[in-house]
Structure 1
Amino acid sequence: MTGKDIPKLEEAHAGIPQGTRINVTFLAGEDLGMRLAAARAVKRLGFVPVPHISARRLPSRAHLEEFLSGLAEDGTAENVFVVGGDPARPEGPYEDALSVIRTGLLQHYGVRHIGVSGYPEGHPAISDNTLWSALTDKSAALGAGRLAGDVITQFGFDADPVLGWLEAARARGVRLPVRVGVPGPAGVRRLLGYATRFGVATSASVARKYGFSLTNLVGTTGPDRFLDALAERYDPGRHGIVKVHFYTFGGLRTTSEWVARFRERGQLG
């Protein structure tokens, strides 16, 4: 959810299991008050808030401390997700997520669990070698700091690169649980727009696997086939601990209702 999505969360909360982890984004157009209010709303409604910290959007160490202090005062600091962020150039002293983790400030303000990002299909602006180095370094830093953590991957439409990436991550010594990014049900045109923005593959063959057509952008599609393919080929010995993370694209209620129906069919544990 974003800082503006509190009304949407209140509308959807009855259909979301208590204790669900809900990420709160760190968008450029939102201020400290909005981010803190969103995290408080998540906690008030019985969920686990996971506030994002966008390293490159932090103008100073003082700003980071102000955010962490506010979370600590509200009792919403235990879980965070640290990401490099979108700006081409850092707006302050932090180049990437690792530089924030290495400050030691997170533990100081009560953070106990840190999520970091993973990119099964790569990143449009970062080389694969850099991505792998960043992931292994962050994994090692969490271990050195005796911090729990997990990896949340970018969403995708094809299970093949996800499963291959999981094996490659385990081969590189990354033992953190992975939450595979899953697109919530949304309009095909909207999904393709997000995919283009984040460098997610949308070839004709991938589209057919997922269940939509690039020549017919009308209608809505859900991730049934994607999740079925993951479940069918998932091997704990090769892939490690794997869960899912739903990207709602603003549709909190739509996604929660879809998940409930999918779970009723016994397809989601």
Structure 2
Amino acid sequence: MTGKDIPSLQDAASSIPAGTKINVTFLGNEDLEMRVAAAKAVKDLGFTPVPHISARRLESQAQLEEFLDRLQQIGATEHVFSVGGDPSEPAGPYPDSLSVIRTGLLQKYGAKEVSIAGYPEGHPDIADDVLWRHLEDKSQALKEHGLDAVVLTQFSFDTDPVTTWIDQVRSRGIASEIRIGTPGPAGIKRLLGFARRFGIGANAMIVKKYGFSLTNLMGTAGPERFVSDLSSLTGADPAREPVKLHFYTFGGLRASAEWVHEYRFAQS
């Protein structure tokens, strides 16, 4: 959710299981008060806030500490997501999420578990070898700081690159929980727009496998096939575990929450 999504969260709350992790973004067009208010709303409604810390948007150490202090005051620092962020140039002293982790400030303000980014289909602006080096360095830094790690991935439409990437993560000795990103139900045009923005594979063969066609963009699509296929693939190989899901709520918080509820019911 974003800082503007508090009403949507309140509307969807009855459909979301207590304790669910809900990430709170760190957008350039939102301020400290909006970010803290969103994290507080998550906490007050009985869920687990996971505030994002966008390294390249931070102008100073003082700004980072102010944010962490405000989050700690509302009990929202145990789980955070340290991410580089979108700006091409850093606004301050932190060029990447690793530099934030290495400050030691996260645990000073109460962090116990830190999510870091994973990219099963690569990143449009970062070479694959750099991505792997960063993932290994961040995992090691978190271990050295006594922090639990979660690798939270960009969303995907295709299980093939996802499972290949999971195997590569494990082969590098990274045993942390992996949360695979998948879009909740959303309009097909909207899904494709986000896919183009983030460099996600979305050719005709891939999206058909996921469950929609590029020739019919008027409807909505959900992740039924993706989730079912991923479950069978990871469950069949214990070496890939632990693997969980992270839903990108492009179609809205309530729509995603209700989809999860209906999917679980259908599987029971």
TM-score of the aligned structures, taking structure 2 as reference length: 0.98
CA distance in 2, matches of 1:140, 1:29: 32
Residues 209 and 156 of structure 1, relative CA distance in 2, 3 Å threshold: same
CA distance in 2, matches of 1:41, 1:228: 32
Residues 194-223 of structure 1: CA distance to partner in whole angstroms, max 9, x if unpaired?
000000000111011011111110100100
Q: CA deviation at 1:19?
A: 0.4
Q: Which residue of the partner structure matches residue 245 of structure 1?
A: 246
CA distance in 2, matches of 1:82, 1:236: 29
Q: Which residue of the partner structure matches residue 182 of structure 1?
A: 182
- The letter for the 1-side match of 2:139 is S
**Maintained 8 Å contact 1:185/1:254:** yes
Percent identity reads 58
CA distance in 2, matches of 1:143, 1:52: 20
SS for the counterpart of 1:265 is helix
CA distance in 1, matches of 2:208, 2:108: 48
CA distance in 2, matches of 1:117, 1:144: 18
CA distance in 2, matches of 1:54, 1:162: 25
SS for the counterpart of 2:267 is coil
Q: Which residue of the partner structure matches residue 126 of structure 1?
A: 126
Q: Which residue of the partner structure matches residue 31 of structure 1?
A: 31
Q: Which residue of the partner structure matches residue 262 of structure 2?
A: 261
Q: How does 1:188-227 map to 2 (within 5 A)?
A: 188-227=188-227
- The letter for the 1-side match of 2:261 is A
- The letter for the 1-side match of 2:216 is N
State the number of aligned residues: 267
- The letter for the 1-side match of 2:127 is S
Higher mean C-alpha displacement, 62-71 vs 250-259: 250-259
Q: Which residue of the partner structure matches residue 69 of structure 1?
A: 69
SS for the counterpart of 2:189 is helix
CA distance in 2, matches of 1:149, 1:14: 29
Residues 41-71 of structure 1: CA distance to partner in whole angstroms, max 9, x if unpaired?
0000000000000000001110000000001
- The letter for the 1-side match of 2:263 is F
SS for the counterpart of 1:126 is coil
Q: Which residue of the partner structure matches residue 46 of structure 1?
A: 46
CA distance in 2, matches of 1:133, 1:25: 25
Residues 170-194 of structure 1: CA distance to partner in whole angstroms, max 9, x if unpaired?
0011111000001110000000000
CA distance in 2, matches of 1:89, 1:77: 26
Q: Which residue of the partner structure matches residue 89 of structure 2?
A: 89
CA distance in 1, matches of 2:102, 2:113: 14
- The letter for the 1-side match of 2:255 is T
CA distance in 1, matches of 2:175, 2:97: 18
- The letter for the 1-side match of 2:46 is G
CA distance in 2, matches of 1:227, 1:17: 19
**Maintained 8 Å contact 1:52/1:83:** yes
Q: Does 1:56 align with 2:50?
A: no
**Maintained 8 Å contact 2:184/2:251:** no
CA distance in 1, matches of 2:241, 2:173: 11
- The letter for the 2-side match of 1:34 is M
**Maintained 8 Å contact 1:170/1:240:** no
Q: CA deviation at 1:159?
A: 0.4
Q: CA deviation at 1:250?
A: 5.4
**Maintained 8 Å contact 1:55/1:84:** yes
